[in-house]
A and B are shown apart, each in its own frame.
Chain A
C-alpha cells in the first residue's frame, strides 16, 4: 500500500513538473540593472491595470502619447481588500507569464506582499530619478518603502480632516470645533437641539483610522518588516472610544457607514460634521451623497486639549506598482511617472489629493476654481504632513479585523470601549498568523 502511494505521489510530482515546465517555457536571459534582474527588454505593449476611477488617467495618457502601446485593463483595484492582484500575481508566478506592467491599487499595504512575491520593482535604484521621488509629500511613500527601498509610488494622500456643512453650521449658530472636547460638546448639543443631525459616522471598516489613529491609539505600530506593537487599551484609545460611544448613544454619530444604502437614503442630508479623509470631499459628498455645491467646507481634524503635536489618520490612498517582470520598462516607467506626477492628470483631474507635492498645489488651485467647496482647502494641505507615524501598513488588514470584530458588536448595541480588548486579541492573532512578532 505504501509503495503504491509513493508511486502515486511520484506520478503526481512528475505531472506537476511537466505542467510547470510546459507553462513556464525556457527561462529568458535576465540582466541585473536598476537594482533587480530585468527580463529581456522589447518595445512591446505595456499592460496597465487600473480600477474604474483610474481608467480616465490611463486614457488621458494614451491621448497625450498616441505613440505609446498601452493595453488598459480594468479590475477592482483591490477595493475592500479583495486581494485580486495578489491572487493573480501568485498564479502568474507559477505559470511564469501574465503579469501586468503597471498596476494601480487602492490598498496601502500592497508592497508588504508584492516585494516578497518578487513582483514590485525597486524604483529608487535607477528607474525613477531622486529629484522626482523628492517631490512627493513628506512621508507619502512610507507605505511603499520596504527595508529602505521604494517599491511603489503613492497616488493620493488620504489625511483625515473635518468636513462640515457650512451653511447649516451657520444656521444653527455653531462654531467648528478645534478640539475633541469641543467636538464632543457640540455632538451633545446637536443631539439635544437638532436631533437627527450627525457630527460623524463610525460605521465604516476604516472608522478606526479616522478616529482612533487621530487620537494616537497604538493599535497598529509596525516596528519592522515583520514586527508590530499592539495596544488598543491605552488611554489614547479609551478616551476616543468613550467619546464615540457617547455620541453613538445620543445618536449624533451614525453607525451606518457612509457607503451603505441606509446612510444614502436616510442620513445623506443630515450631515452637519464628518471627520473623514481627503477623498471624502469628492467620493462621499459630491458623488455618493450628492451634497449640493457651495455646502461643504473643510477644517483641520480636532486635537485633544493640551496636545502639542497635531495628529491625523490616513485612510487609504492609492499606490502604483511597477512589475519586475516588465519587458518594456522604459515605457512602463514613463507611464508610472506621468500618472503619479504630471499636472495634466494629478494636478487637474485626480479625484483625490495628489501625493506629489507640486501636483497637489495645482490640484488645490483647480479645486478652488471648480467652486464646489466653500472656502479654501488649506486644511487638507496642512493635514498632509501631519499623519501620525504611529500606525503603519502591515500585511494583515486592519479594516477587515475591525469590520469582523467591532462592527457586529456595535450593531448589537455594545460599546466600542467594551470591544477594545476583543479588537486587540483579533489584531494580535491575525498579525501572528502572518508571521509577525507582536508586542502588546
Chain B
C-alpha cells in the first residue's frame, strides 16, 4: 500500500508535435490500476475510519478508541525501534556493499556476488521468514554452534521479547537488501567514468571517491530506498505474525501496528478501528515520503 511515486520523471527532451499522446498512453494502464487497487481502496478505508459499523459518521472516534487500546503505544514503540534498526542498517550496509561490489567490478567475483545478493530477494517474504524460523531454532539450526556461542540454547531464548527488533531487522535485511544492492550497483555503474577518473587524477583514493563523489551521486537512489523501506517497515506484519505462530504466541500477535490492525479487524470485529489505524499508517508513510522528496530534490531535473 505504499503511495510513493515512480522515480521516472518526465523526459528530458521538450515534447515535440505528435508526441502529446505518448506520455498519457504510457501511464494510462498504470493510472487505471492505481485508481482501482490503490486510490479506491484507500478511499474505502478512509470512509471506514470515520464511520461506525452501521455507516454513521463518527468523526475521530475510531482514531481515539484505537489509540486508547492498551496495546497501541507498545506497538508504536516496537515499530519505531524496528524502523530505526532497519533503516540505519539498510542505508549503511547496502551502500557499503554496493560500493564494494563496484570496486570488484567486471570480474567473476562480482557476478557471483551479485547473484548471491539477489537470491534472498527472489524468495517470497513468507518463505524467507520460514527459512529464518528454521535458522533461529538451536535444536535444528545449521548455525547451532553460533547460536549457542551467543548463549542461546532454546528457541524460547532466541525469540525473547527484547531480541525481536534485532531479529526482524536481520530477517528484513536478508530478504530485502539484496535487491537494493543490485539497484545501487546499477546506479553506481551509471556514474560516468570520466567523473571517477577526474577524482582519481585529483588524488582521491577509494574512500574519498566514495564519500565525495559516488555517495552524493547515489543520493536520489538512497532516498528512494529509504522511502520504500520506511513504507514497508511501518507495515511490519509477516515476520512477527509467522514468528508468533511458530512460537505458539510467545512472540505476541500484537507486536506491530499492522498486526494490531489485523486483530482489530478479524478478532475483535472492529473493522472501522482497523481502518483508522491503517489510515494513520498511510498518513505517516505519505508524510515521510513527502518530507524526503521535498528535502532531497528528488524530482529535480538534472
Contacts and interface: CB of A to CB of B under 8 A. Distances in A.
Interface of A: 8-9, 11-13, 15-16, 80-83, 86-87, 90, 113, 116-117, 203-205, 255-257, 259-262, 265-266, 397, 399-400, 402-404, 407-408, 411-412, 429, 433-434
A261 B140 contact: yes
B46 A204 contact: no
A407 B268 contact: no
Contacts of B139: 260-262, 265-266
Contacts of A255: 156
Interface stretch (B94-102, B201-209, B246-254, B286-294): B246-254
Nearest to A263: B139
A204 B269 contact: no
A371 to B, nearest CB: 33
B161 A408 contact: yes
30 contacts: A8-B46, A9-B46, A9-B47, A12-B40, A12-B44, A12-B46, A13-B55, A15-B43, A15-B44, A80-B245, A81-B249, A113-B269, A116-B269, A117-B269, A204-B248, A262-B139, A265-B139, A399-B248, A400-B253, A403-B248, A403-B249, A404-B252, A404-B253, A408-B160, A411-B154, A411-B157, A412-B157, A412-B160, A433-B70, A434-B268
Contact of B154 (A11, A90, A256, A429): A256
Interface in B147-186: 154-157, 160-161
B50 interface: yes
Contacts of B268: 433-434
For the residues of A in contact with B, the DSSP-based class is helix
Nearest to B268: A434
B44 A82 contact: no
Contacts of A12: 40, 43-44, 46-47
Contacts of A412: 157, 160
Q: Which residue, A83, A86, A261, has most C-beta atoms of chain B within 10 A?
A: A261
A276 to B, nearest CB: 16
B253 A90 contact: no
Contacts of B267: 83, 86
Nearest to A15: B40
B266 interface: yes
Contacts of A397: 249
Interface of chain B, helix or strand or loop or mixed? loop
A262 to B, nearest CB: 5
A399 B252 CA distance: 11
B156 A411 contact: yes
Given A15-B40, A407-B156, A408-B161, A87 B248 contact: no
Contact of A205 (B40, B50, B249, B266): B249
Contacts of A433: 69-71, 268
Nearest to A80: B248
Given A87-B266, A116-B269, A408-B160, A260 B155 contact: yes
Interface of B: 40, 43-44, 46-47, 50, 55, 69-71, 137-140, 154-157, 160-161, 245, 247-253, 265-269, 271
A265 B40 CA distance: 52
In order of increasing CB-CB distance, the 5 nearest A-B pairs are: A403-B249, A12-B43, A411-B156, A87-B266, A261-B139
Contact of A90 (B55, B250, B251, B269): B269
B269 A429 contact: no
A257 B50 contact: no
A259 B156 CA distance: 13
Contacts of A256: 154, 156
A12 B57 CA distance: 13
Contacts of A262: 138-139, 154-155
B201 to A, nearest CB: 56
Contacts of B44: 12, 15-16
A8 B43 contact: yes
A255 B156 CA distance: 10
A434 B50 CA distance: 21
A139 B253 CA distance: 31
A429 B70 contact: yes
B156 A408 contact: yes
Contact of B266 (A90, A116, A203): A90
B137 A261 contact: yes
> Which of B139, B247, B250, B265 is packed against the most chain A CB atoms within 10 Å?
B250
Contact of A16 (B47, B69, B154, B266): B47
Contacts of B47: 9, 12-13, 16
A434 B69 CA distance: 10
Contacts of A13: 47, 55
A100 B160 CA distance: 39
A9 B126 CA distance: 35
A82 B156 contact: no
B283 to A, nearest CB: 14
Nearest to B267: A83
Given A8-B43, A16-B44, A433-B69, A404 B160 contact: no
Nearest to A203: B156
A203 B248 CA distance: 11
Contacts of B249: 80-81, 205, 397, 399-400, 402-404, 407
